[in-house]
């Protein structure tokens, strides 16, 4: 079936990758450390386990030359949710398979680069790392279609469900998602509506998220029992709550993208987790530096379940606290909002929350995490800003390069690593680039 869903040339590349995998006794798997990358890891390790292949799994954060090359050995290697822009660092390595969806610099290399963007697929909205990994598993064996939940968790973690699933993602959902129950409902998770709102970060409701008493007061004010389970709400109660939450987001000056996230298509899986919960659990463990815990659990080791769920709850508590602290300490230039994140693993998640739900919607958000030797940078925009001309992949790459660092990613979300102490110089360059991008589009519109 998968052969009929993707371009012939793309399928041909996947067949080459399949042959490399089947011909190898031992493989390295390297994935980006975020929710999309970790979901890719679940897919690829299950695929290899079913093939009785031995493998070693690693998570990569540093995508500069030194960081990437440190992971490369002589073994057959699969890199997922990264790698296209890093192949230039290892041009002579032949036994490497890259499954990516990010912008990258064209070059000459011997590795097998499978990037969605090379086949007319928008890697920001229509395909993520888990998309490319799921296709890899399907090309190896169509019976791997049962790994669909982890394709969905990566897609959601990468926010490619925002505004509706489209493109290649949609084709896969339509082809392989029919065996799972789907419901259009409130985009909430939790054992009660009060807990759902208290721990809600997508959407993030200012002064309700993180405050159980406020969540209860809010619910009682609109006539909803705080102890009810989300799935037990009547259709009238769902509409009432959706309208009240939408009004809450409008009052905190969130944009249309935030409003569209109040409701969504939720899938329910045999594991007992919904697609929303699964994405949150996998991403949360990753942000806590515990990526392998959900991977181990979903590889068939049930003893990891409690640790996985505990890590998830700890992440939720931390990210809510950090979001409030960061918005309170936000700095603004003419074209950029920026903050300093308490932890490097949290910078991207905080940037996403602030951009969608709490910050000035007219300019992108940049988060800095200052380490011992360097500073990690995470940036987020909105689809509206991208439509005006914003491309954060360009901003991160060029501003980082100007101060001796490296960066890249998507037009709507990107990152960089720069020398410690160069944050202000980085901002000065980024400010000019953002101004030129948005300003040029605005000038044409007039």
Long-range contacts (CB closer than 8 Å, 24 or more residues apart) made by 52-57 = 53/21, 53/24, 53/25, 53/26, 53/27, 54/25, 54/26, 54/27, 55/26, 55/27, 55/28, 55/29, 56/26, 56/27, 56/28, 56/29, 57/29, 57/30, 57/31, 57/292, 57/295
Cβ(117)–Cβ(99) below 8 Å:
no
Tens-place pLDDT, residues 323-355: 999 999 999 999 999 999 887 678 888 999 999
Query: Nearest 10 degrees: CA dihedral of 372, 374, 375, 376?
Result: -110
Cβ(343)–Cβ(326) below 8 Å:
no
Give me the pLDDT at residue 29, please. Answer: 98
Give me the pLDDT at residue 440, please. Answer: 53
Would strands 263-268 and 331-332 be described as parallel, antiparallel, or unpaired?
Answer: unpaired
Give me the pLDDT at residue 419, please. Answer: 95
Give me the pLDDT at residue 292, please. Answer: 96
Listed residue (17, 27, 233, 29) closest to 138, CA to CA: 17
Query: Nearest 10 degrees: CA dihedral of 145, 150, 154, 160?
Result: 50
Cβ(154)–Cβ(294) below 8 Å:
no
Kindly tell me if the per-residue pLDDT of 163 is higher than 80. Answer: no
pTM, rounded to two decimals? 0.81
Peptide bond into 203 cis (omega under 30): yes
Tens-place pLDDT, residues 247-302: 999 999 998 888 888 988 889 998 889 998 999 999 999 989 999 999 999 999 99
Helical H runs in 366-422? 383-388, 392-402
Give me the pLDDT at residue 284, please. Answer: 92
In angstroms, the CA 422 to CA 375 distance is 8
In angstroms, the CA 381 to CA 396 distance is 12
* Token pair of 377 as six digits: 């940078």
Tens-place pLDDT, residues 18-71: 999 999 999 999 999 899 999 999 999 999 999 999 999 999 988 888 889 999
Kindly tell me if the per-residue pLDDT of 445 is higher than 50. Answer: no
Bridge-partner residues for 172, per DSSP? none
pLDDT confidence band for 446 (50 / 70 / 90):
very low
Would strands 26-32 and 76-80 be described as parallel, antiparallel, or unpaired?
Answer: parallel
Tens-place pLDDT, residues 202-239: 899 999 999 999 999 999 999 999 999 888 899 999 99
Cβ(24)–Cβ(48) below 8 Å:
no
Listed residue (62, 227, 17) closest to 237, CA to CA: 227
In angstroms, the CA 218 to CA 222 distance is 7
Helix axes 275-287, 305-328, angle to 10 degrees: 70
Kindly tell me if the per-residue pLDDT of 321 is higher than 90. Answer: yes
Task: Tell me what the mean pLDDT of segment 171-187 comes to.
Answer: 93
In angstroms, the CA 296 to CA 290 distance is 10
Give how far the C-alpha of residue 307 lies from the chain's centroid of Cα atoms, to the nearest Å.
22
Taking 3-state DSSP, the helix, strand and coil percentages for the chain, each rounded to the nearest 5, stand at 50, 15, 35
Tens-place pLDDT, residues 419-433: 999 999 999 999 999
Strands (DSSP E) along 86-194, which ranges? 96-100, 112-115, 181-186
In angstroms, the CA 113 to CA 96 distance is 8
Give me the pLDDT at residue 441, please. Answer: 41
In angstroms, the CA 128 to CA 120 distance is 14
Kindly tell me if the per-residue pLDDT of 147 is higher than 50. Answer: yes
Bridge-partner residues for 292, per DSSP? none
Helical H runs in 305-415? 305-328, 344-353, 383-388, 392-402
In angstroms, the CA 443 to CA 161 distance is 31
Tens-place pLDDT, residues 386-405: 999 999 999 999 999 999 99
Mean per-residue pLDDT over the chain, rounded: 93
């Amino acid at each position: 079936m998968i052969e009929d869903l993707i371009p012939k040339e793309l399928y041909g590349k996947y067949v080459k990758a399949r042959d490399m995998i089947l011909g190898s006794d031992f493989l390295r798997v390297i994935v980006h450390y975020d929710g999309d990358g970790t979901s890719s890891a679940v897919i690829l390790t299950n695929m290899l386990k079913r093939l009785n292949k031995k493998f070693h799994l690693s998570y990569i954060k540093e995508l500069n030359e030194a960081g990437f090359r440190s992971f490369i050995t002589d073994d057959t290697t699969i890199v997922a949710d990264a790698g296209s822009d890093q192949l230039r660092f290892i041009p002579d390595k032949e036994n490497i398979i890259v499954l990516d969806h990010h912008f990258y610099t064209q070059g000459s290399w011997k590795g097998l680069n499978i990037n969605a963007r090379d086949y007319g697929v928008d890697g920001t909205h229509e395909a993520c790392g888990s998309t490319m990994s799921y296709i890899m598993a399907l090309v190896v064996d169509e019976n791997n279609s049962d790994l669909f939940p982890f394709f969905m968790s990566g897609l959601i973690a990468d926010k490619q469900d925002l505004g509706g699933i489209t493109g290649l993602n949609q084709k896969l959902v339509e082809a392989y998602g029919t065996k799972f129950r789907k419901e259009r409902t409130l985009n909430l998770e939790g054992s009660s509506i009060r807990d759902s709102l208290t721990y809600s970060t997508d959407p993030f409701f200012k002064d309700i998220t993180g405050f159980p008493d406020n969540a209860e007061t809010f619910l009682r004010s609109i006539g909803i029992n705080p102890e009810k389970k989300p799935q037990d709400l009547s259709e009238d109660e769902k509409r009432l709550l959706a309208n009240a939450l939408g009004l809450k987001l409008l009052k905190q000056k969130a944009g249309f993208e935030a409003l569209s996230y109040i409701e969504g298509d939720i899938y329910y899986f045999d594991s007992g987790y919904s697609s929303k919960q699964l994405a949150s659990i996998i991403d949360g463990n990753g942000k806590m530096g515990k990526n392998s815990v959900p991977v181990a659990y979903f590889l068939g080791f049930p003893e990891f379940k409690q640790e996985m769920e505990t890590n998830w709850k700890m992440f939720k508590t931390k990210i809510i606290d950090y979001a409030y602290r960061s918005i309170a300490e936000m700095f603004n230039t003419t074209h950029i909002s920026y903050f300093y994140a308490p932890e490097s693993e949290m910078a991207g998640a905080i940037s996403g929350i602030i951009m969608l739900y709490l910050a000035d919607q007219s300019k992108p958000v940049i988060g800095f995490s200052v380490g011992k030797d360097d500073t990690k940078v995470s940036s987020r925009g909105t689809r509206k800003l991208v439509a005006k001309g914003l491309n954060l992949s360009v901003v991160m790459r060029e501003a980082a390069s100007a101060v001796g660092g490296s960066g890249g990613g998507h037009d709507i979300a990107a990152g960089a690593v720069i020398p410690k102490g160069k944050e202000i110089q980085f901002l000065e360059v980024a400010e000019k680039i953002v101004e030129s991008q948005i300003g040029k589009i605005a000038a044409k519109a007039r």
